[in-house]
Amino acid sequence: MWHASVRAVPVLAVCRQGRGSRQPACRLRGLGLALAEERSPGKNRASPFSQASKKLVAATGQQCLPLSIDVRQPQTIVAAVEEALREFKRIDILVNGAAGNFLCPASALSFNAFKTVMDIDTLGTFNTSKVLFEKYFRDHGGVIVNITATLGYRGQALQVHAGTAKAAIDAMTRHLAVEWGPNNIRVNSLAPGPITGTEGFRRLGKEASQFDTIPLHRAGNKTEIAHSTLYLASPLSSYVTGTTLVVDGGSWLTSANNFPALLGIASSSAKL
C-alpha cells in the first residue's frame, strides 16, 4: 500500500447514487473529504453515502462531509460547494465520477435516455467543474480528475450513449486544461478498465478466460483505481495536465470487440 504524509487536503468527490455506486477510497493522511452523491430531484431516502462517510471517519479519523446534489442542476452544486467551503475553508481536489450507463443498441435507445446520460455524465462534469472554478479554483488553483472510459476508443456496441458522453468529457479535459492552466489548475481524465467489485463488472459477468486477452491477464481492482486517482490528484503529477490515464491493464489494446455477439444481447428500448 502506498502511504503519503501530506498536509490536510480537502477533496470534493462527486459520485453516482444508487446500487453499485463507486465509493471513494481514502489513502492519504490528513484528508478532508466531501462526498457529493448525484441524485434525482425530489428523492429524500436515506443515503448510502452517509453510511460511507461514517465508515471513513471511523477508519481514518479524518473529517468527511456527505452532501447530496443533482449535477444537472448548478444551484445544487453551488449549495454543496459553499457548504464544503464553510466546513473545510478550502477545496484542493475535485473528482468527477457521476455517471449513468446501461446496455442498449442505438436503434432501441430513446431520445430521452441518450439525453439523460449526456446530462449526467458530460453536462454534470462541466457544471461541477465550472462552479468550483468560480467559487474557489480561479483564485486558489486546484486539481480536477474526471472519471471517463475507453468505450469510445474502438466503438463498442450497446454503448453509444455512454461512449459518446465519456469521449466528450475527455475533450473537455483537454480544453479546460488549456484555459485554466494559467490559474494553476490541472485537469486530467482517468479511464478505468474492467474493475472487480463494481456494478458494471457484476452485470456483465466476466469469465476468467476472457482475461487471457488482457496483457496483465486479470481484471483491476478498486484500490488500483484509487491509487491512480491519487497520483493524478497529488504533487507526484504536478507537471501533468490535459491527458487521459488509462488504467485497464492494456485491455483496450488487445481485447476483442465482439460486436456481433454484443448486438445479439436482448435489450429493450431504454425509456428513461
Q: What pLDDT, on a 0 to 100 scale, did the predictor assign at position 21? A: 35
What Cα–Cα distance (Å) separates residue 105 from each residue in 27, 148, 161, 212, 260?
A: 39, 20, 9, 27, 12
Joined together, the cell numbers standing for residue 258 give 465482439
Is 30 in a helix, a strand, or coil?
Answer: coil
Chain-centre distance for alpha carbon 75: 20
196: nearest Cα among 185, 204, 186, 184: 204
pTM for the whole thing?
Answer: 0.85
pLDDT of residue 255: 84
- Residue 191: half-sphere exposure toward Cβ, Cα within 13 Å: 23
Q: Give percent of the chain with pLDDT exceeding 90.
A: 58
- Provide the pLDDT for residue 61: 85
pLDDT of residue 89: 94
What Å distances lie between residue 191 and 50, 95, 188, 212, 243, CA to CA? 27, 13, 10, 21, 11
Do 93 and 145 meet the contact criterion of CB atoms below 8 Å apart?
Answer: yes
Q: How, if at all, do strands 31-38 and 9-16 pair? A: parallel
Whether residue 244 contacts residue 190, with contact meaning beta carbons closer than 8 Å, is answered with: yes
- Those residues whose C-beta lies under 8 Å from the C-beta of residue 118, and which sit 6 or more positions away, are 161, 164, 165, 168
DSSP string, 11-27: EEEEEE-STTPPPP---
What's the pLDDT score for residue 29? 39
Using CA atoms, how far apart are residues 64 and 31, in angstroms rounded to an integer? 9
Contacts of 272 (CB under 8 A, 6+ apart): 110, 112, 113, 116
Flag residues of the chain having pLDDT under 70: 1-10, 14-32, 35-47, 204-209, 259-272
Q: What confidence score (pLDDT) does residue 236 get?
A: 97
Look up residue 198 and give its DSSP letter: S
pLDDT tens-place string over residues 56-69: 888 888 888 988 89
CA distances from 186 to 74, 107, 128 (A): 22, 38, 15
Please write down the long-range contacts of 258-261, taking CB distance under 8 Å and 24 or more positions apart.
259/155, 259/156, 259/157
List domains and CATH numbers for the chain: 9-263 (3.40.50.720)
- Give me the pLDDT at residue 208, please: 62
